[in-house]
Amino acid sequence: QVQLQESGPGLVKPSQTLSLTCTVSGVSISSGYYYWTWIRQPAGKGPEWIGRFYSSGSTDYNPSLQSRVTISLDRTKNQFSLNLYFVTAADTAVYYCGRVSTGDYTIDYWGQGTLVTVSS
Amino acid sequence: EIVLTQSPDFQSVTPKEKVTITCRASQNIGNSLHWYQQKPDQSPKVLIKYASQSISGVPSRFSGSGSGTDFTLTINSLEAEDAATYYCHQSSSLPLTFGGGTKVEIK
């Protein structure tokens, strides 16, 4: 079955780069039927969409983060990654990776989430 | 950016009661509105897509309605396992956005 799993450091210092990887199993990230997305959720708040990557290579980012974020794919490892640069305490959140079906645009599979804390 | 405003923020409900949660969009999004359920320490799970379309495997007590700017999620005959926070989410335009959530507590 389809599974997504986030991995990466749980603690990042201010002004440094937050780097996370999502390992996908059960489906190829090269499939044209899906977008691959990152979403974050600060404690006690609603989710915030970060951005998405389509298998064609196109990307879309939240304008609020666009200047600091990149999402990329590693097709050989069936993984996709998030880099968020120049982080501050406001970037502390649980980060989720997810799959979006191009058929209905719902996030039908989510990773379990990983807490990233920005602190010195 | 389309802002989604949910109400109420919190609801305490007895089992078998009916629950109604509303989501208002800051502009017309047609029916591109989806509902998610998030239990503590879990990832969100999609309940309803495109305002009113059911999702395979989701209990039939969950239903949705609305279009344009006003949407409703209804839980008929609430069960203890429905204790969770519910979010609406729009896929009409970028950036994708979510509502602030409605926490449902079982009395």
Tens-binned pLDDT, residue by residue, of chain B (107 aa) = 999 999 999 999 999 999 999 999 999 999 999 999 999 999 999 999 999 999 999 999 999 999 999 999 999 999 999 999 999 999 999 999 999 999 999 99
Specify the DSSP class assigned to residue B96: P
Q: Which residues in B lie closer than 8 A to residue A45 (C-beta atoms)?
A: 100-101
Q: Which residues in B lie closer than 8 A to residue A47 (C-beta atoms)?
A: 44, 87, 89, 98
Question: What number of CA atoms fall less than 13 Å from residue A80's CA on the CB side?
Answer: 28
How large is the average pLDDT for residues A99-119? 94
B44–A110: do the CB atoms touch at under 8 Å?
Answer: yes
How large is the average pLDDT for residues A40-60? 93
B46–A106: do the CB atoms touch at under 8 Å?
Answer: yes
Which residues numbered 5-64 in A keep a CB inside 8 Å of some CB on B?
Answer: 45-49, 60, 62-64
By the CB < 8 Å criterion, does B81 face chain A? no
- Centre a 10 Å sphere on the Cβ of residue B28 and count the other Cβ atoms it contains: 11
d(CA A63, CA A60): 9
- pLDDT of B71 reads 98
Check whether the bond before A47 is cis (ω within 30° of 0).
no
